[in-house]
Amino acid sequence: MKKLSFILLFCIMWLIGTRCQAQVTFLSGSTEADTIVVGQPFDYKLLLNIPSDYFVEWLQLGDTLSGSIDVINASEVKTTPASNGNNVLMEQHLTLTSFDTGYVYVPELSITYSKSLQDSIRHTLYTDEAELYVTTVAVDTTQAFRPIKGVMRQGLTAKEVFPWVAVVIVLAGIAYLIYRHSKNKNAKEPAVVEKKKPVIPAIVTARAKLAEMKDNELWASAKTKDYYTDLTDIAREYLEGQFEIDAVEMTTDEIMQEVNGLNLNAATKEKLHETLITADFVKFAKANPTAEQNKQSFVDINSFVEDSYVFFKEEEEKKKEEQQ
């Protein structure tokens, strides 16, 4: 009986251990170099071990990691199955360098993840800071210094200068004749007044583009990234034309900060926010929403455009009433 109890206890502990092992999540950053010559490239490897069904928001890199570390190149993120079969290994190689000397540090890098795309709880993993020593180029002090040579001057003769002077005079004469001819021609011809093209209202443009997307049912297309790029571009251009918000050049957080200042109702703002967030996941984290989610994003943007335009018209009427 005791032997049977021991075997059952061992099996339960093994199953628990296997379950825990499947959920292990860690991030590491490593480099084989500890000393480089100033400006010398070196490899830095990012390795993430994470359950295969988790959603990962990989970090976005610029030209530098810090004031001392420059980014030369970043490879594509490579995903391979882990040895336990439940996790995957996500690996990226960065080519870095430094133009400072002495001890420099590769800073902590972070990656955010959640259990699913819809899960609002985000977790962040950090790498350890890596120390690196940067040396200068060695100078051979055993060699003697060479003397500095002075500037060598050579005079020009009149025979050498005359052809260039003649060319300049001829070109100046041609330029003067062209100027006189152009001036006389402009004096005879009446000035043509260019008619300004009428400006198409932002709401008209947005409605036309959304109608085209609806007719083509682009939310069912396999080109999800292109679909969300076109959909959010319509919203950004509409905000710029209707409310003078420079949304085309803004991030999602910057856009929502400006939209919050319009005093729109919370439901209208949330429709825009949800679609922009989903688009960011698709474009930068390679998320793959369903066709229903894609269609809902279209409906949300269409509702945002119409609801915000109603708000705009109401504000314009209030201003007219106040001026009277």
- The radius of gyration computed from the CA coordinates of the chain, to the nearest angstrom, equals 33
Is residue 82 within 8 A of residue 25, CB to CB? The reply is: no
- Report how far apart, in Å, the C-alpha atoms of 280 and of each of 6, 14, 57, 123, 260 are: 52, 40, 10, 18, 19
pLDDT at residue 249, as a whole number: 87
Per-residue model confidence as pLDDT tens digits over 244-299:
888 888 999 999 998 888 888 888 889 899 999 988 888 888 888 888 888 888 89
pLDDT at residue 1, as a whole number: 46
Q: Given a cut of 70, is residue 8 above it in pLDDT?
A: no
Q: Which residues have CB under 8 Å from 91's CB, separation 6+?
A: 45, 46, 47, 48, 77, 78, 79, 80
pLDDT at residue 222, as a whole number: 74
Average pLDDT, the chain: 82
SS (H, E, C) the chain: CHHHHHHHHHHHHHHHHHHHHHCCCEEEEECCCCEEECCCCEEEEEEEEEECCCEEECCCCCCECCCCCEEEEECCCEEEECCCCCEEEEEEEEEEECCCCEEEEECCCEEEEECCCCCCCCEEEECCCEEEEEECCCCCCCCCCCCCCCCCCCCCCHHHHHHHHHHHHHHHHHHHHHHHHHHHHHHHCCCCCCCCCCCCCHHHHHHHHHHHHHHHCHHHCCCHHHHHHHHHHHHHHHHHHHHCCCHHHCCHHHHHHHHHCCCCCHHHHHHHHHHHHHHHHHHHHCCCCCHHHHHHHHHHHHHHHHHHHHHHHHHHHHHHHHHC
Q: What does residue 203 show for φ and ψ, rounded to 5 degrees?
A: -65, -35
Q: ∠ at Cα 76 (75, 82), nearest 5°?
A: 110
Q: Given a cut of 60, is residue 237 above it in pLDDT?
A: yes
Q: Which CATH number fits domain 23-135: 3.40.1410.10, 3.40.50.300, 1.10.10.10, 2.60.40.740?
A: 2.60.40.740
Average pLDDT estimate for 58-85? 87
Per-residue model confidence as pLDDT tens digits over 79-132:
888 877 789 988 999 999 998 888 999 999 999 999 888 888 989 999 998 898
* pTM of the entire predicted model: 0.41
Average pLDDT estimate for 178-189? 74
Closest CA to 41 of 88, 82, 94, 102: 94
Q: Where in the chain do CATH 2.60.40.740 domains reside?
A: 23-135
Give the whole-angstrom CA distance, residue 231 versus residue 219. 10
Least confident of 70-84, 159-173, 306-320: 159-173
pLDDT at residue 18, as a whole number: 41
